[in-house]
Amino acid sequence: MKQFNHAADTIKLDAGIRKILSATNSEISVHFPVKMDDGTIEVFNGYRVQHNNALGPYKGGLRFHPAVDIDTARALAIWMTWKSALAGLPYGGGKGGVSIDPQAYSKSELERITRRFTYALGENIGPDVDIPAPDVNTNPQIMAWIADTFASTKSPSTRMLNLHVVTGKPIGSGGLKGRDRATGFGVVASIKSWAKLKGVDLLNKTFIVQGFGNVGYWASHFMTELGAKLIAVQDASGTIYNESGIDSEQLHDYVSINNGDVYGYEGAKQLENNSFFKVECDIVIPAALSNQITSENADEIKASLIAEGANGPIDTEGEKILLAKGVDIIPDILCNAGGVTGSYYEWLQNKRSENYNIDTVLEMIEEKLSVAFSKTVESARKYKTDWRTGAYCVALERIQQTYQERGVFP
Ligand SMILES: NC(=O)C1=CN([C@@H]2O[C@H](COP(=O)(O)OP(=O)(O)OC[C@H]3O[C@@H](n4cnc5c(N)ncnc54)[C@H](OP(=O)(O)O)[C@@H]3O)[C@@H](O)[C@H]2O)C=CC1
Ligand SMILES: O=C(O)CCC(=O)C(=O)O
């Protein structure tokens, strides 16, 4: 809300629209029972927050993590509204999840948890209402279970018209070729735009990545393709470092047989967790959770660029320190918008019964992000402000325009 208020002041946002955007439209909290493998019943807490739908159906991921609660879902839903608006997509913002550690459950328990959660959400989601997608600890398999459960509540004649209730599905179930890499690809597309703007050659530039899941791995993959060198990675299991470079593909193979963890990878040495952000490098890519860079560690960062793959990785105090040091920050709502943009093309291909090829998808994502990057930089120049505020201003102006054209009530 601090970020929103600052941008709202900057563009002198209409007072009524400011009130509307300061509140969420709805906050759904469900408690649903699931039978465990041993026959006992557990009751889970799930959330879906729908912030605003002035531009189109609510859109945003579902997270399965012990830290998910209504506040997390609210912050993430609000960011989705700005992100979709900035990328020029016909969506509003929503986000949600279930408060669980998925590692504590078997695959069949996770399937039942996902299906009961979907059932509990009922008509609050739908292809033209609110369209979930993958986020932390959720994946194409989970999306397929959601699509199947949601569609099975419809009459047989309309079942197939409901599968795009979620994006990020497996390819065989209407998923988009390239949605798996869309967010990491978009992070690197934004870094390329930054490099072009600043006249920086990315060849041999060093980078570090926090989080080596979907976003962290694919960002590393595309950075490596450009000739940049990955030198440190941190995930929940620990921190690894090799100044001569870490092979992102080998690490990915290792992680996939090591319970998702980078810890123990032989091609690098282990570091203390609190040394991660101190690593001497050119670019930092946070791709894990929120509030990782704060007033406690912002001063330790030596890079000239932070590309926010994660949502909200830098808190407002940490950001002030970084901006004062002259560090460039590509804000989350721009930098990680490749994911929701890929989701948009999946939704569109489902609606149109089409099947895009991967080169077309990546081209379309890069084009949208390059436009969003230019608009952000222009807006920051116009309002003499930082890039995050510039990006918010673009998003808020678009939403303000729609309210002013249509009247206050969507
Ligand atoms: N998936 C998408 O399309 C999009 C994701 N995002 C954002 O990107 C971020 C990552 O999402 P995604 O890659 O999908 O999620 P994944 O679940 O695929 O990966 C999450 C990664 O974060 C690591 N992690 C978790 N907790 C910590 C911690 N305390 N310290 C360091 N690392 C940690 C995990 O480590 P471990 O495996 O050891 O638990 C894992 O490597 C999130 O902020 C998400 O909201 C943004 C836009 C789209
Ligand atoms: O793909 C989507 O719809 C949303 C992705 C997401 O949750 C995000 O951008 O944070």
Confidence band (pLDDT; 50, 70, 90) for 155? confident
For the chain, the domain total comes to 2
Task: Decide if 112 contacts 130 (C-beta within 8 A).
Answer: no
Q: Does residue 378 form part of some domain? A: no
Q: Give the neighbor-by-neighbor strand order of the sheet with 283-286.
A: 269-271, 238-241, 229-235, 206-210, 283-286, 305-307, 328-330
Ligand nearest to the CA of 67: 1
pLDDT of 159 reads: 83
- Three-state secondary-structure class, residue 241: strand
> Do 29 and 96 belong together in one domain?
yes
SS3 content of the chain, % helix, strand, coil (to 5): 50, 20, 30
> Do 268 and 164 belong together in one domain?
no
Q: Does residue 311 form part of some domain? A: yes
> Do 156 and 187 belong together in one domain?
no
- Catalytic residue flag (residue 95): yes
Q: What percent of the chain has pLDDT over 70?
A: 99
Task: Decide if 213 contacts 349 (C-beta within 8 A).
Answer: no
Which residue in the block uniquely carries the two structure tokens 């993590």?
65
Confidence band (pLDDT; 50, 70, 90) for 130? very high
CA of 98 to the centre of ligand 2 (A): 16
CATH for 272: 3.40.50.720
Confidence band (pLDDT; 50, 70, 90) for 156? confident
- Three-state secondary-structure class, residue 134: strand
Which residue in the block uniquely carries the two structure tokens 């400011």?
18
What's the complex ipTM?
0.99
> Do 158 and 195 belong together in one domain?
no
> Do 204 and 112 belong together in one domain?
no
Of 279, 307, 335, which one is at a domain's C-terminal end?
335
Q: What percent of the chain has pLDDT over 90?
A: 96
Average pLDDT over residues 66-79: 98
Which residue in the block uniquely carries the two structure tokens 């699931």?
34
Q: Does residue 63 form part of some domain? A: yes
pLDDT of 409 reads: 55
Residue 51 phi, psi (nearest 5): -80, -60
Task: Decide if 76 contacts 95 (C-beta within 8 A).
Answer: yes
Q: Mutual orientation of helices 2-11 and 15-22 as an angle, nearest 10°?
A: 170
> Do 151 and 189 belong together in one domain?
no
> What dihedral angle (degrees, nearest 10) is formed by the CA atoms of 337, 366, 219, 333?
-20
- Three-state secondary-structure class, residue 288: coil
Confidence band (pLDDT; 50, 70, 90) for 298? very high
Mean pLDDT rounded to a whole number for the chain: 97
The parent domain of residue 53 ranges over: 25-170
Evaluate: CB of 184 within 6 angstroms of ligand 1.
no
Does residue 410 register a pLDDT over 80?
Answer: no
**Per-residue model confidence as pLDDT tens digits over 9-45:** 999 999 999 999 999 999 999 999 999 999 999 999 9
Task: Decide if 49 contacts 25 (C-beta within 8 A).
Answer: no
Within a 10 A sphere around the Cβ of 15, how many other Cβ atoms? Answer: 8
Pocket test for ligand 2, best of 80, 137, 290 (most atoms within 8 A of CB): 80
> Do 43 and 158 belong together in one domain?
yes
Does residue 408 register a pLDDT over 90?
Answer: no
CATH for 79: 3.40.50.10860
- Active-site annotation holder among 95, 177, 205, 375: 95
> Do 131 and 231 belong together in one domain?
no
Of 335, 367, 399, which one is at a domain's C-terminal end?
335
Average pLDDT over residues 385-396: 98
CA-to-CA separations, 269 to 61, 243, 245, 251, 357, in angstroms, rounded? 34, 10, 11, 13, 40
Q: Does residue 364 form part of some domain? A: no
Of 137, 170, 203, which one is at a domain's C-terminal end?
170
> Do 49 and 89 belong together in one domain?
yes
> Do 94 and 198 belong together in one domain?
no
> Do 305 and 198 belong together in one domain?
yes
- Token pair listed for 104: 């504590």
- Closest-CA residue, ligand 1 atom 9, reads 310
Instruction: For 323-356, give the DSSP string.
Output: HHTT-EEE-HHHHTTHHHHHHHHHHHHHHTT---
DSSP state of 273: G
> Do 56 and 87 belong together in one domain?
yes
